[in-house]
Chain A
Amino acid sequence: MIDIITNMLSMCIPFSVALLLASTGEMFNQRAGVFNLGCEGVMAMGAFVGMLIPFLAGGGMRVSQWYNVLGFAAAAVLGALFGLFFGVITVTFRAPQGIAGIGLQMFGVGCAGTLFRHFVGGTQSIPGIPDVDIPLLSKIPVIGEIFFSHNAASYLAYIFIPVAWYILFRTPWGLKVRAAGTNPRAADSMGVNVSRTRYESLMVGGALAGLAGAYLSIAQAKMFSDTLISGRGFIAVALVYFGHWNPVKIMGGALLFTFAQTFQTVVQSFGISFPYELAVMLPYVLVIVVLAFTSRNDMSAPTSLGKPFNREIRT
């Protein structure tokens, strides 16, 4: 029994990273007042570009890890460009954010699939990045397997969470982001360039979504297909609400969701008499239940979330 629980917990960290990165990026978007439903599309493009670089370098065979690093970097840059593009639509042109986000999602997924067929062809895999056993720590019974035997990207992603918290709550830029999403009018009157702050947040959010996609294609599935993301971008958006726009709580949500995913596969694998259709739904039901029962007093939603800002119009 201990082995089963240890195995489940040991899978939570690597399997949760894509959701963690994407939802942290979405948190930056929403903290600045922009609701980006296009996360799925940006992840798809990140996954494609991230996989493309090591694939072109090695034709699917093992290559220097620097090509994987380059894949992550390219995915981040492309994601930031998508964020910039979304900013032009929603910040400069003030298009409805929900519709624009759905458009970005379709564009990203379609574009990634089309480019993949053109540059790669059919379903292809890459060696990706290997797991790393951290010396000494990985040898600790139970703890070592759960925390210290994963790929390098997952460690970096988890190290980034306190950094994201610090940036958001302890730096002047983080204060500007929160002000732009909570009371842009007041922020503007205090000299904060709301539009610029929203652009910056969208680029940070896009870069993180791109990295999340690249994590799936380089570190987790180690392959690409245009169905690779399969709704994880939307789960990431839900996790932002789940985590009350706080990176640490979002991390908890990502881990809980992933644990539920892993739990349901174990329930199925061990022949526990439970309809598998319900088991597959379990993580999603969990998110809905937690969202439904979250006290509204605890909600710290940016009050200007989804509202375009026009400094020329006084409301």
Chain B
Amino acid sequence: MKKILVLALVLVASLSVFAGGSKDSSTADDGTIKIALIIENTIDDKGWCQSMHDGITQAIAAMPDKKIEYSYAEKMLPVDAGSIARQYVAQGYDLIIAHGAQYKNLVLEIAEEYPDVSFAFGTSSEIGPANVFTYMPESEETGFLNGMIAGSITEDNIVGVVGPVDSGDSARYNRGFVLGVQSVNPEAKILVAHSGSFSDYVKAAEVAQSQLASGADVLTGSSQQAIGALRATAESPIAMWLGQDTAQLTTEEGKAKCVAACAYNYAAVVINLVNKIESGVKGGECIPMNFANGGFVFAYNPDLEAEWVTPELKAAVQEAMDSFIADPDGTLADWADVDYSTL
């Protein structure tokens, strides 16, 4: 009995040492900043998760004077992510980015447990606790540019939008796209439908096929499910695509069908986060992403640009982008007023 008691005490003491260690997560003594990324899909999904992973690696490359360590955890459902987040805390990570609004509750709960660690999640425009950053792509800007192109190049005057769910940055992108189409082609019919999922490629393809069958000849889509819609668009001999991620320009379908694409430049966000953490700010801020602060990039498909984008259209797109940079708060302030039922 005595031996068992001693053994139990040793175990409890050992666990308490680990428990104490898990709270010790300040920046390493040698100045290394440790960043961890938690994502629900993979780092090469050509969409949402890849854009953040690429942003972090680009940010690290852009700050050669800083010692940054980076790890990521893929395929983390919100119910599983708590475990990995706590492991990252135990390993002394300084910044844990849970990339998706679905992680909000988890982040807020863990952030309360570990006030010395910085957390970030998005998309969200909420101002979080003192050790939680949020980030919000104001993607009505990217949607607007793509919409301008779609409205200009459609020959049948019907364009389609394949959304995942009507919330967050997807809702902003889709509504910005509608405004963009209407700005250059008020007569165009805009078909908007949601697959109901961020990752159901088959359903996104079905929505796209439905819109193509209804006469749409230019489509767009947001989140990783959009790859399914792009794949369906590639089957059409006439339809073209506008991407919400420049990674789509590198796919076979994108090379043939994607006239232009925007992307989130998370590198700007990550650099911002690192600088804030170094200066002692651990959270309590929402970092907007827009063209003005370098949060977005925009690119034409070099193989399709000459055929599909006239100099006048290119100039108009550039003018719109310049107006966003000049007045990031005002140009598309009415994006939320777009009502799909009136289209």
Residues on A facing B (Cβ under 8 Å)? 4, 7-8, 10-11, 15, 60-61, 113, 117, 121-123, 125, 216, 220-223, 225-228, 230, 232, 261-262, 265-266, 268-273, 276-277, 280
Contact = CB atoms under 8 A, between A and B. Distances in A.
13 contacts: A11-B213, A15-B206, A122-B42, A122-B45, A122-B46, A125-B251, A220-B202, A223-B231, A230-B197, A230-B199, A230-B200, A269-B191, A276-B196
Nearest to A264: B193
- Which of B45, B195, B200 has the most A CB atoms < 10 Å from its CB? B200
A4 B214 contact: yes
B341 interface: yes
Nearest to A226: B75
B77 to A, nearest CB: 11
A117 B42 contact: yes
A266 B192 CA distance: 9
A228 B202 contact: yes
A225 B166 contact: no
A7 B210 contact: yes
Contact of A227 (B200, B206, B252, B343): B200
Given A61-B252, A117-B42, A216 B202 contact: yes
B223 to A, nearest CB: 12
Interface in B156-191: 160, 165-166, 191
Interface of B: 41-46, 50, 75, 160, 165-166, 191-197, 199-203, 205-207, 209-211, 213-214, 224, 227-228, 231, 234-235, 251-253, 340-343
A265 B199 contact: no
Contacts of B192: 268-269, 271
Contact of A269 (B43, B211, B253): B211
Given A122-B42, A123-B44, A271-B340, A266 B210 contact: yes
Nearest to A223: B231
Contact of A271 (B42, B195, B227, B341): B341
Nearest to B46: A123
A265 B341 contact: no
B227 A223 contact: yes
B210 A269 contact: yes
Contacts of A125: 227, 231, 234, 251-253
Nearest to B230: A125
B231 A271 contact: no
Contacts of A222: 231, 235
B147 to A, nearest CB: 16
Contacts of A280: 194-196
B42 A221 contact: no
Nearest to B208: A265
Contacts of B214: 4, 7, 266, 269-270
Contacts of B340: 268, 271
A63 to B, nearest CB: 13
Contacts of B205: 220-221
A265 B193 contact: yes
Contacts of A4: 214
The 3 closest A-B pairs by CB, nearest first: A122-B44, A280-B196, A268-B193
A220 B228 CA distance: 10
A184 to B, nearest CB: 37
- Which of B160, B202, B251 has the most A CB atoms < 10 Å from its CB? B202
Contacts of B234: 125
Given A230-B203, A280-B196, 10 more contacts: A122-B44, A221-B202, A225-B227, A227-B200, A230-B202, A265-B211, A268-B207, A269-B193, A269-B207, A272-B341
Contacts of A220: 202, 205
A269 B200 contact: no
Contacts of B341: 271-273
Contact of B193 (A113, A121, A223, A276): A276
B191 A270 contact: yes
B343 A271 contact: yes
A265 B211 CA distance: 8
A226 B199 CA distance: 9
B199 A225 contact: yes
Nearest to B74: A117
A270 B203 CA distance: 17
Nearest to A229: B202
Contacts of A122: 42-46, 50
Contacts of B202: 216, 220-221, 228, 230, 232
Nearest to A7: B213
- Which of A216, A225, A261, A265 has the most B CB atoms < 10 Å from its CB? A265
A262 B75 CA distance: 29
Contacts of B211: 265, 269
B166 A276 contact: yes
Contacts of B206: 11, 15, 261-262, 265
A268 B202 CA distance: 17
A144 B252 CA distance: 31
